[in-house]
Amino acid sequence: MASDPQKAGAPPSELTAALQACRTALIGVGAFSAVSNILMLTGSVFMLEVYDRVLPSKSVPTLIGLCVIAAFLFAMLGIIDLIRSRIMVRIGASLDEALSGRVYETLIRLPLKAGNRSDGLQPLRDLDNVRSFLSGSGPIAFFDLPWLPVYLAICFVFFHFWIGFAALIGAIILVTLTILTERWTKQPTHETTRHALMRNGLAEISIRNAEAISAMGMVSRIADGWAEANRRYMASHGRASDVAGGLGAISKSFRMLVQSGVLAVGAWLVINQQASAGIIIAGSILSARALAPVDLAIANWKGFQAARQSWARLNRLLSLFPPQKEMMALQAPTTNLSVENIAAAPPGTQKIVLQEVAFTIPAGSGLGIIGPSASGKSSLARLLVGLWQPVRGNVRLDGAALDQWMPETLGRHIGYLPQNVELLAGSVAQNIARFEPNADPEAIVNAAKTAGVHDLIVRLPDGYETQVGEQGSALSSGQAQRIALARALYGDPFLVVLDEPNSNLDYEGDEALARAVMSVRKRGGIAVIVAHRPSALEAVDLILVLSNGRMQHPVGPKDMVLPKVLQRPPQPLKVVPETRGTSA
């Protein structure tokens, strides 16, 4: 299977390396294919012997002996074909096992680097395409193709020149059809994949916004857009299928024609006493077998094209996200958070949304980030937890830039509550513990109590074992937000960043949030809160004001900064005159 070109001397791609790890199995498939193709001569030799030995001699024992030998060889052929097909299935499974973790890792990292602009599940589909092709009959056809010249040589040497010539002409025409299949299916297959990405992306967006679409009567209009995307996909899919199916039908019909043609040539040779009667059937069977791999390759060419495109996309994706290098473990941060003149742009864009932001927060502090909408508050929050990489500058914990930490290690020192809260499928306890295996139940309960959500959880149908997420119980937005707050506090992380943490909270939730922030500060951590509502800032001691992506005021004590920000000139009271209806 073709892969992206590599520089001379460059190490093989991860896909190529994973396939090379199966080299022994592939050599075994090649060996079994050699034996299988030799055993494929059984039918031709059997028919030749029956016509040239059994019928003239009328020897029943010879016929029985030939039948026993042929039955044994056909049984061996079946066993060998079964073995090599199972080996190919396991090669596909081995490739999937070696790469599925890496592909899933890139699937998570891709939107953080390129943004959510494509079908996020396409890498997994690409891996499925490659595995499915390797596990199917397509590769078997490619292993059998090198035996085509051998069969043609047997036709020339052991049968007759004209039988070999007829088979050769048929082989040339079928190989030509294979080349045409390669050229004519490449573009339609590429178009099909592109339109499938657009269609699936629209469907995912519709699912995520199902409530808004339904409530505002947008279903029919969105459905029209999806129908148009689906129409383009089906049109390109139909073109690709028509080309592949049409050429496959032509090749199958032509192979049968060649088989009959060889039969006719054999009959002509027998009539002219240039060959024995057994040549008629044996030559027909052998020529058909010689052309069968070409026919099978054409039939599987569409799948081969799709797998090859998937292979190329996976190679590009994995090279874009190389495996993360092991780094020396750093001590847990305990001193400060510093931001050094950072500038940031959303993943996949060049638009700067945050610039010239610099401050240092000591341990035990709480920072409130305020400002109007689109001022860069959430962008700063994503930078502080390492979700975005700054265009300029650095975010440091105890002097070490975030990219000096292994992501899994850094994650243990960070708690993050995003604006849009979603719990993963699993129990409440698993979500709070961040799906940590063998998590300490006491740590889970402590996090829940710190977030003020313990009493809420124990009132759920199964308490901490209540299933939530896509397949679990439906929780209100406020409940989900408070459980997510407990998740952010789990393990007593040094830096806790909360983005609009009280957007779905009631008065009781606001009080629990303030206590949680104070608990972070008291144990020597740092709490950063992005907020619009002043109630969320009750437990912080420092304020940062952003506007248009820039600091509007240096970080300072809340009591000094907040009054200046909230101070507004008095607005005159507007009196709206009462209007009354009049009757004629």
pLDDT digits (tens, 9 = 90+) for 289-316: 777 787 777 777 778 888 888 888 888 8
pLDDT at position 577 is 47
H or E stretch covering 574: none
> CA–CA separation, 522 vs 360, rounded Å?
18
pLDDT at 243 over 80: no
| pLDDT tens-digit readout, 519-571 | 999 999 999 999 876 667 888 989 998 888 888 878 888 888 877 776 654 44
Residue type, 249: A
182-196, 337-351, 387-401: least confident range: 182-196
CA 136 to chain centre: 21
pLDDT at position 567 is 64
In the structure, what pLDDT confidence band is assigned to residue 579 with cuts at 50, 70 and 90? very low
| pLDDT tens-digit readout, 435-480 | 988 889 999 999 999 988 999 899 988 899 988 876 445 678 888 8
> CA–CA separation, 412 vs 490, rounded Å?
9
Residue 151 vs residue 528, higher pLDDT: 528
Residue 473 vs residue 584, higher pLDDT: 473
pLDDT at position 119 is 56
Highest mean pLDDT among 44-58, 96-110, 334-348, 526-540: 334-348
Those residues whose C-beta lies under 8 Å from the C-beta of residue 239, and which sit 6 or more positions away, are: 188, 191
| pLDDT tens-digit readout, 250-285 | 777 777 787 788 778 878 887 887 877 777 777 777
> 14-36: string of b/e by CB count within 10 Å (b at 16+)?
bbbebbeebeeebeebeebbbeb
CB 175 within 8 A of CB 298: no
Q: How many angstroms separate the Cα of 351 from the Cα of each of 194, 294, 342, 354, 391?
A: 26, 53, 14, 9, 10
Question: What domains appear along the chain, each with residue ranges and CATH number?
Answer: 14-320 (1.20.1560.10), 336-566 (3.40.50.300)
> CA–CA separation, 106 vs 314, rounded Å?
10
> CA–CA separation, 530 vs 423, rounded Å?
20
Q: How many CB atoms lie within 10 A of CB 136?
A: 18
Tell me the three state secondary structure of residue 354.
Answer: strand
pLDDT at position 578 is 47
69-73, 165-169, 400-404, 486-490: least confident range: 165-169
DSSP 116-182: S-S-TTHHHHHHHHHHHHHHSSHHHHHHHGGGHHHHHHHIIIII-HHHHHHHHHHHHHHHHHHHHHH
Quickly tell me which residue has 């997994």 as its tokens. Answer: 124
pLDDT at position 118 is 55
Sign of the four-CA dihedral 439, 443, 446, 452: negative
Instruction: Read off the DSSP letter of residue 500.
Output: S
- Note the pTM of the prediction, 2 decimals: 0.70
Instruction: Read off the DSSP letter of residue 404.
Output: G
pLDDT at position 566 is 66
24-28, 66-70, 230-234, 514-518: least confident range: 230-234
Q: How many angstroms separate the Cα of 256 from the Cα of each of 246, 285, 291, 498?
A: 16, 11, 10, 71
Those residues whose C-beta lies under 8 Å from the C-beta of residue 200, and which sit 6 or more positions away, are: 119, 121, 122
Mean pLDDT of 92-119: 77
> 86-96: string of b/e by CB count within 10 Å (b at 16+)?
ebbeebbebbb
Residue type, 341: N
The number of CA neighbours under 13 Å toward the Cβ of 281 is 13
Select from 557, 532, 504, 485 the least CA-distant residue to 374: 532
Residue 200 vs residue 567, higher pLDDT: 200
CB 259 within 8 A of CB 138: no
Supply 200's token pair: 């699936």
Tell the burial category of 376 from Cβ atoms under 10 Å away from its Cβ (0-12, 13-18, 19+). buried
Work out the mean pLDDT of the chain and round it to a whole number.
82
pLDDT at position 581 is 43
CA 229-233-236 angle, to 5 degrees, is: 140
In the structure, what pLDDT confidence band is assigned to residue 10 with cuts at 50, 70 and 90? low
pLDDT at 582 over 50: no
pLDDT at position 573 is 38
- What is the percent of the chain with per-residue pLDDT over 90, rounded to a whole number? 18
| pLDDT tens-digit readout, 208-220 | 677 677 777 777 8
pLDDT at position 208 is 67
Q: How many angstroms separate the Cα of 257 from the Cα of each of 220, 249, 467, 580?
A: 52, 12, 63, 93
| pLDDT tens-digit readout, 482-526 | 899 999 999 999 999 998 887 777 777 778 888 999 999 999 999
Tell the burial category of 295 from Cβ atoms under 10 Å away from its Cβ (0-12, 13-18, 19+). buried
Supply 560's token pair: 């000094």
Q: How many CB atoms lie within 10 A of CB 197?
A: 17
pLDDT at position 416 is 92
Select from 82, 177, 190 the least CA-distant residue to 137: 82
